[in-house]
Chain A
Amino acid sequence: MDASNTTVMTPAVPAIIAERPIKIRARNVDVFYGDKQAIYDLSIDIPDRAVSALIGPSGCGKSTFLRTLNRMNDTIPNARVTGTVELDRENIYSRDLDPVLLRARVGMVFQKPNPFPKSIYENVAYGPRIHGLAHNKGALDEIVVSSLKRAGLFDEVKDRLASPGTGLSGGQQQRLCIARAIAVNPEVILMDEPCSALDPIATARIEELIDELKQNFCIVIVTHSMQQAARVSQLTAFFHLGHLVEMGDTDEIFTNPQDQRTQDYITGRFG
């Protein structure tokens, strides 16, 4: 399949975008790693208080795009982003925007659970502490407890907040990472294949959690599993070879894909 002459299908505005405010608006985004281009001229709108799933075969640029949304690509040498990405209509790549403050607004959960090798409490408290969100110990305790509760982890760990976060099971670790992201009170949570390292039961719990979190957050999830995308997301975007091939309401994409490649992918012809 020739990638260079693909065009983005522009169907009618997806229903979910029409009914929710737009949180993130990306326009004409290109991402380069050195000489290699990873994302080609990508434009997308992501709604607030909903789950948007980015799907596509390996190496299609979905994780790269996710990382442009909180400027994590800045940490990779030679990475270059052009175009505009707006968060609440503010260009996050503008010169006066501090990426550090951006990342406080756009949290991220990674593929492999990566708790700090510190206590559970410290894992969650770290973010609020560096951002000065709590002025005393009591307030900090409260943030930690509420974040753990919202991540559905509190009941399991309330007796051992001082024990190391790395001692938890994989699913618990991932929920700890979600709690850590929630603790700084972000507006957006990016999830980069959050369940790929987990067993089905832990995956189910995370998916439940994502469903709850969408009440308050704009969630963007990258996933390999189409079933997962179908289960948790309201908006789905299909990426292929650095191009956004198609996006739309999740039900729509999975039942009635417009593009042949999308169809091939969701029916399992390649992946």
Chain B
Amino acid sequence: MTDLIDGRRASDYSSTAAKRRLVKRYRAEARFRAYGVLGLILTAAFLAVLFIDILGKGLPAFWQHSLMLRTPLVPAEIDPLGAHDPKQIASADFGKIVKDVLASQFPYVKSRAERKLLNSLLSSGAADALRDRVIANPALIGTTVATPALLSADADLFFKGRLTKVEAEPAKSAATLNIQPQERYEILSPDGAFAASLAEIKRHLGARVALLRAEVQGLLAQRPEIASRLAQARDGGNSAEALRLENSLQSIDLKSAELQTRMQNLEIRASSSSASEKLDATLPSILAAANGGLIKAEEISADRLIGPALVPPRSAASLAPGDWSIVTYQTPQSFRRIADQQIAWLEHLKGQGLIDRHFNTRFFTSGDSREPELAGIRGALVGSLLTLLVTIVLCLPVGVAAAIYLEEFAPKNRLTEIIEVNINNLAAVPSIVFGLLGLALFLNTFGLPRSAALVGGLVLALLVLPTIIIAGRASLRAVPPSIKDAALAVGASHQQAVFHHVLPLAMPGIMTGTIIGMAHALGETAPLLMIGMVAFIVDVPSGITDSATVLPVQIYLWSDLPEIAFEAKTAAAIIVLLAVLFVMNGTAIVLRRRFERRW
């Protein structure tokens, strides 16, 4: 291979070894390339999961459920004086009117506790629409109107299927309905119509046994380690430690013994497949819909179901196959925020066609609230708008002026260099540090108002200033010097050349940079937390010194709340925020494409 032929080294690139080497090299090549593709695919997958997750969580929050009730507007209740005085009308107890109408749907609901449960289906703002409508048109008083009454967040979530799955299976066999003492109803189905439901319950018990077993095993797994440490402590004469470990061993033993007993009891119940089962709140609810009523099982066996009526049946007539059905609420009652009784009522109302699903305009028209169904982002949107207004008013002129100075007027000296290095470093200072600046300087030293859009805007202006200066300089630099020369040659001063010719030509680039900077400011959260824009603020701010919050902070606040309904609200607010950001960035891209000049 290394013989010299005619003074050249001969290499044999056709030998099998060489070919094998080449194949290997190409395989390495393909692998290397695949890493890059893989990295991008992972990134894309993350983005896709993120967007799908947020859309899935947030989109339902843009719809809401209301109760469409025909409400009689009795003059004596609303406007006893008949003067149509808006103040008088506004002070009327519309909440009671709406609740009464709801109660009239359920004449069998009598006890105070049940009334309360029923009323809790309605939002505390249920009567708002009615009140507004009557105030706007007092002539309605004395008539009956159909107005949507907002449902509570839990009722709303139920209709969105977030709380439990409801399954209704028409029964294929005949049965009899008997009234028992203590307002209990009994359904007897000799053909064993409840066998499937019973099996389902047993399966649940079985699953719970498995969970308990894992827990017991986990506890026991800790035992050997503690025991060995105990032995060590005893050997080392560390009696305090030994005592502590002994105690913990004991408590583990006690706990595992207790769990084991529970597990065994459950196991017996789960394995005896035909025995009847008592249902509690930790098991799925089994109900029977018969003769217009709904009976909730307290106990079932394959052929018998007994329990109270959530909706009383019209009669005790016997049930033909297909006339009645078995209903299951999959999620056990104690794991959901809505009672079986409430579900029964809601299903009844839905069956009457009284539930209306509509776009959640309230989300865009009202401020924050402790009630998820009433909470909206208007306050945060207006707060964001005011804050951004302050930001752009401050940082656009200052940023452009600074860019002009550095590009056009700055002498090449140490001071200029300091300013340039400074701007580059400022662009990478963590945003929370700007929050500290705002807190220490604007709030504590200058005494500007806390939580106000003014201070938020100031802080964000300082935050995005480097972005705008850097973008501004880049676009000023992109204007060819020949344009400036042309202006200078006809006797324009340096400043005239800059302000009449260079700046206008750089403007699209500056605007693009500004929009991107503003988008950055719009999504910024941390520095605003520092200056107190995290307060719970119901009112929509009306000026830059009012207490306000902004959209990202609202998202942060809502994400911290425990109610599931707020999780959807949070995701919905995120959707709005992302939509605004996409529009802003899209505008920037269009602007760049449209006005990009090739010199």
Residues of chain A whose beta carbon lies under 8 Å from any beta carbon of chain B: 70, 72, 75, 77-78, 100-105, 107-110, 112, 114-117, 126-127, 130-131, 177, 180-181, 183-184, 190
Residues 543-599 of B contacting A (Cβ, < 8 Å): 597
Distance between Cα atoms of A109 and B490 in the complex (Å): 9
**Interface SS of B by simple majority:** helix
User: Which residues from chain A contact B488 at a C-beta distance below 8 Å?
Assistant: 72, 75, 103
B485 partner, pick from A114, A115, A180, beta carbons under 8 A:
A114
Asked whether, in the complex, the Cβ of B486 is within 8 Å of the Cβ of A77, the reply is no
B491 partner, pick from A75, A103, A110, A190, beta carbons under 8 A:
A103
Task: Check B487 for interface membership: any CB of A closer than 8 A.
Answer: yes
Distance between Cα atoms of A78 and B413 in the complex (Å): 12
Given A103-B492, A180-B490, 11 further pairs, Cβ under 8 A = A70-B489, A75-B484, A100-B493, A103-B490, A107-B491, A116-B483, A116-B486, A126-B487, A127-B490, A127-B492, A184-B490
Decide: A101 near B491, CB < 8 A? Known: A112-B482, A117-B597, A126-B500. yes
- Closest A residue to B411 using CB positions: A77
B412 partner, pick from A77, A100, A126, beta carbons under 8 A:
A77
Task: Check B477 for interface membership: any CB of A closer than 8 A.
Answer: no
User: Which residues from chain B contact A72 at a C-beta distance below 8 Å?
Assistant: 485, 488-489
User: Which residues from chain B contact A101 at a C-beta distance below 8 Å?
Assistant: 491
- Closest A residue to B486 using CB positions: A114
Task: Check B501 for interface membership: any CB of A closer than 8 A.
Answer: yes
- Closest A residue to B410 using CB positions: A77
Task: Check B424 for interface membership: any CB of A closer than 8 A.
Answer: no
Give chain B nearest CB distance to A122 CB in angstroms: 10
User: Which residues from chain A contact B490 at a C-beta distance below 8 Å?
Assistant: 103-104, 107, 126-127, 130, 180-181, 183-184
User: Which residues from chain B contact A100 at a C-beta distance below 8 Å?
Assistant: 491-493
- Closest B residue to A76 using CB positions: B481
Distance between Cα atoms of A193 and B492 in the complex (Å): 22
Distance between Cα atoms of A110 and B501 in the complex (Å): 17
User: Which residues from chain A contact B489 at a C-beta distance below 8 Å?
Assistant: 70, 72, 103, 107-110, 181, 190
Give chain B nearest CB distance to A92 CB in angstroms: 13
Decide: A116 near B487, CB < 8 A? Known: A77-B412, A110-B482. yes
Task: Check B496 for interface membership: any CB of A closer than 8 A.
Answer: yes
B496 partner, pick from A107, A130, A183, beta carbons under 8 A:
A130
User: Which residues from chain A contact B487 at a C-beta distance below 8 Å?
Assistant: 116, 126
Asked whether, in the complex, the Cβ of A114 is within 8 Å of the Cβ of B491, the reply is no
A130 partner, pick from B485, B486, B491, B505, beta carbons under 8 A:
B491
User: Which residues from chain A contact B411 at a C-beta distance below 8 Å?
Assistant: 77
Task: Check B133 for interface membership: any CB of A closer than 8 A.
Answer: no
Task: Check B370 for interface membership: any CB of A closer than 8 A.
Answer: no
Give chain A nearest CB distance to B437 CB in angstroms: 35
Decide: A116 near B501, CB < 8 A? Known: A75-B484, A77-B412, A110-B485. yes
Give chain B nearest CB distance to A173 CB in angstroms: 11
Distance between Cα atoms of A70 and B485 in the complex (Å): 11
- Closest A residue to B497 using CB positions: A75
Scoring B residues 409 to 432 as 1 if CB is less than 8 Å from chain A, else 0, what string do you get? 001100000000000000000000
Distance between Cα atoms of A77 and B413 in the complex (Å): 12
- Closest B residue to A72 using CB positions: B488
Task: Check B494 for interface membership: any CB of A closer than 8 A.
Answer: yes
User: Which residues from chain A contact B505 at a C-beta distance below 8 Å?
Assistant: 117
Asked whether, in the complex, the Cβ of B485 is within 8 Å of the Cβ of A127, the reply is no
User: Which residues from chain A contact B493 at a C-beta distance below 8 Å?
Assistant: 100
Distance between Cα atoms of A126 and B501 in the complex (Å): 10
Distance between Cα atoms of A107 and B489 in the complex (Å): 6
Give chain B nearest CB distance to A132 CB in angstroms: 11
User: Which residues from chain B contact A108 at a C-beta distance below 8 Å?
Assistant: 485, 489
Looking at B482, B492, B493, B505, the one whose CB has the most chain A CB atoms below 10 A away is B492
User: Which residues from chain A contact B486 at a C-beta distance below 8 Å?
Assistant: 110, 114-116, 177, 180
Distance between Cα atoms of A116 and B482 in the complex (Å): 9
- Closest B residue to A98 using CB positions: B493
- Closest B residue to A104 using CB positions: B491
User: Which residues from chain A contact B484 at a C-beta distance below 8 Å?
Assistant: 75
Distance between Cα atoms of A103 and B496 in the complex (Å): 13
